[in-house]
Structure 1
Amino acid sequence: MKYHRIKCNLYKAEGGSWEQMAEELLSSAVREERVVRLILFTRCTDNQEYKFQRSFLEQWVEWHFVSPRPVVSLVAQKPLVANLVLEVHSLVEAADEALTIEEQFTSSVRYLRIATPHYREIIAGGLCADDLNLPVREQSEQAFRKAEEILKAEQMNFGDIVRQWNYLERITDIAHGNQCYQDFNDVRTLFYASSAWESGYPAATGIGTQYGGILIDFNAVSGEVDIVPLDNDWQRAAHVYSDEVLISHRADTEKGTPKFERGKSVSDRRQEVIYISGTAAIRGEESVTTGDVLSQTEITLENIQHLIGLEEGRENWLEHSGKLGLLRVYLKNEEDAPAVKADLDKLCPDLPIAYLYADVCREELLIEIEGIAYL
C-alpha cells in the first residue's frame, strides 16, 4: 500500500493589473499535473472586491481546467513579498497502484475524492457562508454545515480530518463581549462533539484575514493509513487551554477551546507527511511577549523544530531544510517582512515561503508560521 502524498508549490506575480497577475499564476498552475487545490492570496479593499476576485478565480478554473478541477480558495491576506501569491497542491502519483481523482457534489458545494483500493482522501475548500455580512457565529455554523455535509456524503466524520485551515476576517475583534476567534471556536466545538477523535484533532491554523468572512478548507483521510497526532511538550495542547486564554462572556463550561493538534503525521510506513499547525512564540500556553519580531520568529522556529524532531539546533536548519516542503509566514506588521525574510533566507534557502499580512489570534503575537514537512 502506498499513500500518495500531496506536494505544494508557490507561484508569485508582480506588476500588471490584478486580472493579469491572476491569469499569469493560474496559467502556471494549469500546466501542473493532478492539481487538487488552489489557494490565491490577495489584497482586497472591501468584501465587494473580494467577491469579484473570488468569482474571477472560480470561473477561470471552470473554463481552463479539465475535470477533475481543483477546489479553490481566495484568501484576503495581502502578500508581502510579491503582489499576488498562488499556492498549488498537487498529487504525487505512483504508476504501481490504481488511483482515481473524482469531482463530487453535495447540494451546496463541490469537492474532490482521491481513492485507491486502500484509502480515500477528501479535498475540500472555499467553504463559507452565503452572506459575508452575517455575524461570525452564523457564518461559522454555515461553513461547518457544508463541511459536515461533505463528510456525511463520504461516510466520514470530523474525526477523519487531518488538516484544516480556518480563515477569519478580523479574528481578534470583540463583538458582544466575545472575540471573533472565540465565537468560531465555540461553533467548532459544537460540530466536533459528534466525533470520537480516535487519531486526535486535526492539524489546523486559525488566522486572520482582511476580508472574506469565515472560510474553511480541509483534508480528510480514511482507510489503511497511519494517522498520528503530534504533541509538543514545550507547548500546552490548545484543546486544553485554560480560561485565561479564552475571551468570552460565557461561563467556562460553555467556552470552546481551539480544537487542534500541534501537528499531524500521515504515513504508509515508507514515507511520512507532517502537517505543521499554525505555530507562534508560545511556551506552555503563555505568549513569549518580547515585542521583537525576530525573537518571536526564533522561538516559533524552535517550536517547529522540536515538533518535527530536528533537535540539533538552529544552525542546522540549513542541513535539514530539505525535510520542509513549504512554509507560510503570517506577519501582523507589514514592515517586519524584510527582516523576517532575510532571517529565513539564511535558515531555509530555496524553500518555498509565502509572506502574508495577517492578524494573529493573540494581540501580543507578531508572527505565526505553518508548514508541511516530508520525512
Structure 2
Amino acid sequence: MYFLNGDRDYIKPKGTCALLDEQVQDIFRQLKKINSGKRIFKLNFFADTTSADDYNKLQRGLKQLVAEHFEHSVICALIAQPPLTCRILAEAFYFDFSLWEADSVLTENGSAMLFKRDDVKVLVGNAQADYASDCHGSSDAAFLAFGELLQKSGIPLDAVVRQWNYIENITGFDGSSQRYQEFNNVRTDFYAGHFNENGYPAATGIGMNRGGVIIEFVAVSAPNVLSLPLDNPEQVSAHEYSGEVLVGMENSCKSTPKFERARYLELFGKKQVFISGTASIRGELTVGIDDPVEQTKVTIQNMQRLYSRDVLSAVPGNSLRPVYGHARVYVKNRKDFAAIKKTFKSYYGNLPVVYIVADICRENLLMEIEGKVILK
C-alpha cells in the first residue's frame, strides 16, 4: 500500500484459456518472483465458483498454497466476483519491511496485519461470516469480528479510513428484507456515533456470488495523521439519503449507507485520496438508466470531481498535482463490458485497471468504479 511505502499489483494468469487450477498455479509462480524483492502481506483472489462447496474448497486450497509459498504471514481472502478477462485474479498488497514492523492479528472470523512505525499504527485486514440466507446475521458476525480485530490491536473504530463491503446477493431479499439494507442497518448500529466528529470511512458496497459478508478495511491510528472526508457537491452524501431511495417496507427500519464519497489521508508525507465505490448518481437518483456508456461517463465525472481543485482546496496546505493511481471497475452485465471498457479508456488511457463482474447496490445501476489518487 502506498502509505506503507509499498503498493498493490494485480496478477493475471498468462494462459487465459487454461483450467482454473492451471491459472492458480501460474499466479503463484508470478507471486514468487514479485515476493523476491517486496514483502507481500495480503492477497485477495477474485474468482467465480459454481456452488458453496466449490467456494469453500477453493478458499481452503488458496490458503494452503499461501502457507506453502510464503515463510511470513500473509492474509488471504477469496471474493466470489468473476474477472472479465480470466478465471481467477490476484490482488497483491506489499509494504517496505525496512520501515515498518508487522505482526499478524487473528480472531475466529477475521485476520489482519498490524504495522507499527514510531507512534503510528496501521491495521489492514478482513472479517468474514456466512449464515446462508441470513444477511443480517452474517453482517452482525462480520462486524463483531471486525471490532475484535480493532480491539485486539488497540485501535479505535474511528481510525478506520477505508472499507470494502462484499455482500452475497446484495440486492436480493431475505423474506421481506433487502440484503443490502440489512447490512446498512447493522453497520449503522455498529458505528453508533463513533464517526460523528470527522466523517465516515470511504467505502465500497458491492455484490458477490457467494461467501456471505466480507468486510475488508484499513485503519490508521497516529497522533499526526491528517484524515478528512471529501464530498462531491453534485451528489447527496450517501449517509444523508432520503427514504425514497432506500429499499424496504414503508414502516421498516431503513438506515442510510454510512460512508463518505472519498477520504483524504496524509501519513509520513505521503498524500492520497481513497475514492469510494462511485456510480452514476446525481443528487440521490440514478442517471443513465439502461445506458452503460452514459453511466460510465457520469461515474467518471463524479470521481473526477472528488479530486478536482475546488474539492481538494479543503485540504490544508495542499497544492500538489493529483494522479489517478489505479481503478477497479465493477460490471453488472457481461454484455456491457466492451462499451464500459472503451468509455473508461477514453478518459484514462492505459491506467492500470481490472474489470470484475459484480452486482451493484441498486437494481438500475450497471457499473461502479473505485480507486485511489496520489498527490505528488
TM-score, normalization by structure 2: 0.90
- Greater Cα offset, 108-117 or 3-12: 3-12
What are the within-5 Å matches in structure 2 for residues 146-295 of structure 1? 146-193=145-192, 195-223=194-222, 224-249=224-249, 251=251, 254-268=253-267, 270-295=269-294
Q: CA deviation at 1:295?
A: 0.7
The one of 84, 91, 94 equivalent to 2:88 is 84
Once the two structures are TM-superposed, the CA of residue 72 in structure 1 deviates from its matched residue by 1.5
1:133 alignment counterpart: 132
Partner of 2:101: 100
Q: What is the DSSP-based 3-state SS (H/G/I as helix, E as strand, rest coil) of the residue aligned with 1:150?
A: helix
2:17 to 15, 18, 39: 15
Distance 1:228 1:109 in 2: 27
Separation in 2 of the partners of 1:166 and 1:4? Answer: 22
Which residue number corresponds to residue 367 of structure 2?
367
8 Å CA contact 2:47, 2:80 repeated in 1: yes
Amino acid across the alignment from 1:58: K
- In structure 2, stretches of 5+ residues that fail to align are 311-319
**Partner of 2:12: helix, strand, or coil?**
strand
Matched with 1:75 is: 79
What is the alpha-carbon distance in structure 2 between the residues aligned to residue 250 and residue 291 of structure 1? Answer: 27
Question: More displaced, 98-107 or 78-87?
Answer: 98-107
How far residue 270 of structure 1 moved from its aligned partner, in angstroms, is: 3.2
| TM, length-normalised to structure 1 | 0.90
AA aligned opposite 1:293 = P
Conserved in 2, the CA contact under 8 Å of 1:3 and 1:225?
A: no
CA distance in 1, matches of 2:68, 2:200: 36
Q: Which residue of 1 aligns with 2:31?
A: 29
> Which residue identity is paired with 1:333?
N
Q: Which amino acid aligns with 1:323?
A: V
Q: How many residue pairs align between the two structures?
A: 359
2:56 corresponds to which letter in structure 1? Answer: K
| Cα deviations by residue, 1:264-315 (Å, 9 ceiling, x for unpaired) | 111137331211100000011111133210110000000000001168xxxx
Question: In structure 1, what is the equivalent of residue 116 of structure 2?
Answer: 115
Contact 1:44 1:76 in 2 (8 A): yes
Cα 1:368–1:321 change in 2 (3 A) is: farther
Equivalent residues of 2:204, 2:370 under 8 A apart: yes
Residue of structure 2 equivalent to 1:314: none
Give, as a single letter, the amino acid of the residue that structure 1 aligns with 2:342: A
Distance 1:118 1:237 in 2: 33
Matched residues in 2 for 1:79 and 1:39: separation? 12
Match of 1:52 in 2: 57
Offset of residue 3 of structure 1: 4.7
**CA shift for structure 1 position 335:** 1.0
Residues of 2 paired with 1:174 and 1:351: CA distance?
A: 37
